[in-house]
Amino acid sequence: MKSLNRKDFPGPRYPTRVIQFGEGNFLRAFIDWQLDLLNEQTDLAAGVTIIRPINTEFPPSLNTQDGLYTTAIRGLDERGEAVSEARIIRSVNNEINPWQDFAGYLALARNPAIAFVFSNTTEAGISYHAGDLPDDKPPVSFPAKLTQLLFERFRHFNGAADKGWTMIPCELIDYNGEALKALVLRYAEEWQLPAAFRDWVETANTFCSTLVDRIVTGYPREEAEKLEAELGYHDAFLDTAEYFWLFVIQGPQALAKTLRLERYPLNIRLVEDIRPYKERKVAILNGAHTALVPVAWLCGVDTVGEAMQDEAIRHYVQQTIDEEIIPALDLPADELRQFADAVTGRFLNPWIRHQLLSIALNGMTKFRTRILPQLLTHIRQHGAIPPRLTFALAALIAFYRGQRDGQAYPLQDDDVWLSRFAAGWAQVAQGRPLHELVTEVLQDTGHWGEDLTAIPGLAEQVTRYLEVILSAGMREALSRL
């Protein structure tokens, strides 16, 4: 069986117009996949040079396949029908390890055709590294590397206003573009680079903040042999992902023309502020996950897909989203409804087995960030306690008992919470009233940011739900909602 390469699998090649920091699965099934579609459907003609952000030999370089690899996009489409689409991605030209080819890396700054910089260097990637210097070959941190490239470009083109870049980072931190820009300017100042360069960074370059959304499952180790037999070739960089994707960019509307989105619209939103979209994702997608996990697990279910096949659990999740999450959010109702429908399809994706226990990691913090804001907003708007979000809180407390059908299961959270629940549930077993445990949990202002027992009726309602869960079982408690 042949391995994927450009000689045996000829096709279009595009001039390098994009620098990409990061060679991982996510960028390849998200950014490079979208660029490949735009290259095929429009005259964008944007090739990518990948910069390996850390000095490592693993995974091997994409150069071993001439930059080619296959994406397998699988899930439920807008009609709820299962789709599986394999595609050879031709947008990537090559990969450079700057520790091994510093000259080739620095030469990118002198390429007049390059217009964009994409990145995903993990959440820790956009950070300051003390000791990075402008003459390092290269510096350690991604922001320092970018500063080095920008300064080389500034010098080579004599500060030309039309030679700036558009930076579109995909790291999962709030306002990632603003954070990246601040670090570039910090390095420029610490390195005592000319004031004219700092002005050029500010005026000739654009730093966009983004929200990215797609589950990328990467190399399908257990299915690779079967998929390669279907494809007819060997691909060491085969990359799998879900059907759904969303790319929200806080940046100028002119990007729509530059990226040819008016000719081939993708699921890309150019917006003035990404915050409402982040709140939507956290509240609906992540919030539904967090509300689902303890309920489904204590109903005897192990994965998200199995939970959504269960009529009672699916009904609970959909009502929670429709009646208690969406009304608390500040975006057009049709957009929220469309996103919620997509979430349901994503949860039902037969190709992704999301283990509930893995999603349960740090559940107390997830409840605070993903569900509590909607719970409090509902109370402010309606003067009443939302039953399902409150039930989710009771289910979460029950989950931290660590017992399902008499069998223990692992709990993963902050040690303080694990110790508190271990002691609290042991005391309940010895006769401590449930409402005391609930009160202890809800009045932790250090965690919640306020004393939740001060909300009239909340602790009492959580306690009532918890009593039914313990006495009748989760499934019966769910049926009584």
Q: How far apart are CA 216 and CA 240, in angstroms?
A: 6
Q: How far apart are CA 238 and CA 114, in angstroms?
A: 27
Same domain, 325 and 211: no
Looking at 271, 289, 317, the residue that finishes a domain is 271
Q: How far apart are CA 173 and CA 143, in angstroms?
A: 14
Domain CATH code at residue 62: 3.40.50.720
User: Is residue 8 situated within a structural domain?
Assistant: no
Tell me the two tokens of residue 188: 């420029």
Same domain, 201 and 298: no
Count of domains observed in the chain: 2
| Residues forming a β-bridge with 404 | 407
Tell me the two tokens of residue 420: 């508190």
Same domain, 453 and 304: yes
Same domain, 245 and 280: no
User: Is residue 6 situated within a structural domain?
Assistant: no
The burial class, CB within 10 Å (0-12 / 13-18 / 19+), for 380 is exposed
Residue 414 main-chain phi, psi, to 5 deg = -55, 140
The answer to whether 20 and 47 are in contact (CB under 8 A) is: no
Looking at 247, 271, 295, the residue that finishes a domain is 271
pLDDT in tens, 128-138: 999 999 999 99
Amino acid at position 312, single letter? A
User: Is residue 2 situated within a structural domain?
Assistant: no
pLDDT of residue 351: 95
- Short-list 106, 91, 75, CA closest to 27: 91
User: Is residue 266 situated within a structural domain?
Assistant: yes
Same domain, 362 and 260: no
Q: How far apart are CA 212 and CA 207, in angstroms?
A: 16
User: Is residue 295 situated within a structural domain?
Assistant: yes
Could you give the C-alpha distances from 6 to 9, 25, 86, 309, in angstroms and in order? 5, 20, 17, 43
Is residue 18 helix, strand or coil?
strand
The answer to whether 187 and 132 are in contact (CB under 8 A) is: yes
User: Is residue 425 situated within a structural domain?
Assistant: yes
Same domain, 132 and 87: yes
User: Is residue 1 situated within a structural domain?
Assistant: no
Looking at 256, 271, 286, the residue that finishes a domain is 271
User: Is residue 154 situated within a structural domain?
Assistant: yes
- Short-list 46, 72, 48, CA closest to 62: 48
Using only C-alpha atoms, what is the Rg of the chain? 25
pLDDT of residue 331: 87
The answer to whether 324 and 389 are in contact (CB under 8 A) is: yes
Same domain, 281 and 346: yes
Q: How far apart are CA 123 and CA 120, in angstroms?
A: 8
Same domain, 49 and 159: yes
pLDDT of residue 58: 82
Tell me the two tokens of residue 290: 């967090």
Is residue 77 helix, strand or coil?
coil
> Backbone dihedral region of 55: left (phi > 0), alpha (psi from -120 to 50 degrees) or beta?
beta
Same domain, 224 and 193: yes
pLDDT of residue 323: 97
In the chain, which residues have pLDDT < 70? Answer: none
pLDDT of residue 122: 86
Residue that has been written with the tokens 């960030």 in this structure: 369
Domain CATH code at residue 338: 1.10.1040.10
Same domain, 179 and 279: no
Same domain, 248 and 295: no
User: 343 is in which domain, residue-wise?
Assistant: 275-479
Same domain, 288 and 214: no
pLDDT in tens, 19-76: 999 999 999 999 999 999 999 999 999 999 999 999 988 889 999 999 999 999 999 9
Question: CA torsion sign, 324 to 329 to 331 to 335?
Answer: negative
Q: Please give the span between the terminal C-alpha atoms of the chain, in angstroms, as a whole number.
A: 57
> Using the 8-state DSSP alphabet, how is residue 282 labeled?
I
